[in-house]
Amino acid sequence: MVEVIIDSFLDTLKALPILYLVYLLVVFFSHKNILKTSKKTGPILASALGQIPQCGFSGVMADLYSKRHITMGTLIAVFVATSDEAVPILISEPTLITTLLLLLAIKFVAGISIGYFVDYVLIRDRDVISAKQLNSACHFPEMEEEEEHCHCHEHQSSSNKHTNATQSNNEYANSIFIHALKHTLDIAFYLLIASLVVNLLVYFVGVENISKIMITNSLFQPIIVALIGLIPSCAISVLLVQLFISGILSFGSLVAGLCSGAGLGLVILFTKNKNLKQNIQILLITYIFSALLGFVVNLF
């Protein structure tokens, strides 16, 4: 029992340096003006954003969808492509780099394909507001569309521009390191909890019994795992990766769970978008395609 807890702590500590480096890059790109989109390029951009290991973009996109700034296909594309915290955890396991690259490739292609299928086959009557009318997101991870948030120093006097620019650069650099550290600690906490849950389950329940519950080695396992992925929490992706590393989940099931797992995106969607029918449509489409994709991956 004590050994299980100690091992969970040690595994989490080993992952911290890589987690921090990954989130430094995440925060840097999140400060950039990359959220502008259009109907034609939406699913591609959304799938690219989904490759970044955090669940903030799915929440931002859900908010943009509620404001008619993006299509349903674009929103579902980022939901499917989002890997949340699975990426930094898999990076911290050197033997799983090939698995990570394959996972990201599958989710990227799936996000684009499903996004365009939704926009041009399933749902074709969704009007969107031009991308030119959007403001850029300026902070991380709580990136909200705010009026007059980004450009508040455009009319300052020339004598103050240099000083303000220097201060702005320093604040920007400090914010990157601070945000990355905060996010790393948050995810490290999730990772620790997930590791404890998995290790304690294995200790008390046993691998064989857990495998029976999760119908391990079954082609139909993705159906169950895709349902688990719908739970609106970034910690779910951590748990799924731990189950995969433990050998309880197949690769196809991991794909299914991570494709259906949109982090906090579904919570924001049901909160911001008042059209319940649309929300249920998005939920069902995301689940069905995720489970189907996991099933197909397991076949091969």
Could you tell me if residue 160 is inside a domain?
A: no
Tokens of 23: 């989130």
Q: What b/e readout covers 169-180, taking b as 16+ CB neighbours within 10 angstroms?
A: eeeeeeebeebb
- Structural domain boundaries, residue 136: 2-145+170-299
pTM over 0.75: no
Could you tell me if residue 157 is inside a domain?
A: no
pLDDT value of position 179:
76
Could you tell me if residue 130 is inside a domain?
A: yes
Number of domains in the chain: 1
Q: How far apart are CA 183 and CA 24, in angstroms?
A: 9
Could you tell me if residue 215 is inside a domain?
A: yes
Instruction: Find the angle CA(24)-CA(26)-CA(29) to the nearest 5 degrees.
Output: 110
Place of tokens 């995440």: 26
pLDDT value of position 22:
63
Axis crossing angle, helix 72-81 with helix 276-299, rounded to the nearest 10? 40
Could you tell me if residue 68 is inside a domain?
A: yes
pLDDT value of position 194:
66
pLDDT value of position 62:
82
Could you tell me if residue 156 is inside a domain?
A: no
Tokens of 298: 């397991």
113 Cβ contact partners less than 8 Å away, ≥ 6 residues apart: none
Half-sphere exposure of 206 (CA within 13 A, CB side): 3
pLDDT mean for each 10 residues of the chain (300 residues)? 80 74 64 56 86 70 81 92 80 87 94 93 63 42 41 49 54 70 76 74 70 74 90 76 87 94 80 90 95 92
Single out the residue of 43, 59, 57 nearest to residue 128, CA to CA: 43
Place of tokens 């620790």: 192
Place of tokens 């989109």: 37
Q: How far apart are CA 155 and CA 104, in angstroms?
A: 43
Amino acid of residue 82: T
Could you tell me if residue 153 is inside a domain?
A: no
Could you tell me if residue 107 is inside a domain?
A: yes
pLDDT value of position 103:
94
Radius of gyration of the chain from its Cα atoms, rounded to whole angstroms = 20
